[in-house]
Amino acid sequence: MNTCKGVGIVSLRLKNMMAYNSICRMLRRESDYKFAFGNSVSPAMHAWPWDTWGAGHWRKFIIGVDGTQAGFGAIFIDKPNVVCCIELGLLPQYRGMGYGGIAGRLLISKCFTEYGARLVESFALSTNLRSIGMVDWMTLEGRLQARHLIDGQEVDELIYKITKPEWAARQENT
Ligand SMILES: CC(C)(COP(=O)(O)OP(=O)(O)OC[C@H]1O[C@@H](n2cnc3c(N)ncnc32)[C@H](O)[C@@H]1OP(=O)(O)O)[C@@H](O)C(=O)NCCC(=O)NCCS
């Protein structure tokens, strides 16, 4: 397990797959789910046995806080472009305490150290202020105005990115 200040990420296995799916199910049932994740449900939000084989585009993780299963993290590996994209979510009781930021950094580091990414990207909806506040290592690359139409409301999509040299500089300064 990769850990940092009590926050760790554990790779998806058959034995924790039910926990992963139960966390994602709880997130999908939240009333503001669409304003956090969008209208469509990402493949990150469900784990299948073949996700544990490590052969496809997705790598999935349980986020732990002091040994308790607190959220999910997922990395999409875009192999031809050597790019990774991260997604994560925490159960409500673990939000707003900095855990998301730490888990995000663990996922980013994994992309560079284990999956050889050139750069890592992530997306946030303009309605998801916690997600926007969480992004500290990455820089805002662009904004797709009114990209989403959620319950009749136009919502922007924010695009964040960190390159390998930027990540390496962060490592030296921490
Ligand atoms: C998004 C999420 C992973 C962030 O994790 P977190 O642990 O809650 O976030 P952190 O505590 O690390 O950081 C939140 C930051 O946003 C800020 N923030 C929180 N709520 C805010 C609000 N309503 N308005 C503005 N800023 C806010 C906090 O002040 C903090 O910034 P700081 O570290 O400079 O103080 C978590 O809230 C979550 O799982 N939310 C539901 C699922 C989700 O939205 N996932 C992301 C989909 S893209």
Quote the pLDDT of residue 4: 60
Instruction: Break the chain into its structural domains and give their ranges.
Output: 2-172
Task: Choose the residue to mutate in 32, 134, 136, 156 for probing ligand 1, maximizing ligand atoms within 8 Å of C-beta.
Answer: 134
pLDDT of residue 3: 58
Per-residue pLDDT, 154: 98
For the chain (174 residues), the mean pLDDT of every run of 10, in chain order, is 78 98 98 96 96 94 97 98 98 96 97 98 97 94 98 98 96 78
pLDDT of residue 172: 82
pTM above 0.75, yes or no: yes
- Rounded CA-CA distance 101/18 in Å is 25
Nearest-atom number in ligand 1 for the CA of 132 is 16
- State how far the alpha carbon of 109 is from the alpha carbons of 2, 3, 61, 118, in Å: 10, 11, 14, 12
CATH architecture of 2-172: 3-Layer(aba) Sandwich (3.40)
Ligand 1 pocket at CB < 6 A: 27, 36-37, 71, 88-90, 95-101, 124, 128-131, 133-134
For residue 123, CA distances in Å to 15, 60, 127, 147, 174 come to 29, 17, 12, 12, 25
Give the residue whose CA is nearest to atom 14 of ligand 1. Answer: 134
Distance linking the first and last C-alpha atoms of the chain:
20
Nearest CA to ligand 1 atom 15: 133
Q: Is the dihedral of CA 94, 108, 121, 135 positive or negative?
A: positive
- Ligand 1: which residue has its CA nearest to atom 16? 133
Alpha-carbon radius of gyration of the chain? 15
3-state percent breakdown (helix, strand, coil) of the chain, nearest 5: 35, 35, 30
Structure tokens at 136: 């500290």
**Paired strand residues for 135:** none
Confidence (pLDDT) at 173: 75
CA dist., res. 87 & res. 12, Å (int):
15
Of ligand 1's atoms, which has the minimum distance to the CA of residue 102? 12
Q: Which residues 6+ apart lie within 8 Å of 18 measured at CB? A: none
CA of 128 to the centre of ligand 1 (A): 8
Instruction: Give the distance (Å) from ligand 1 centre to CA of residue 99.
Output: 9
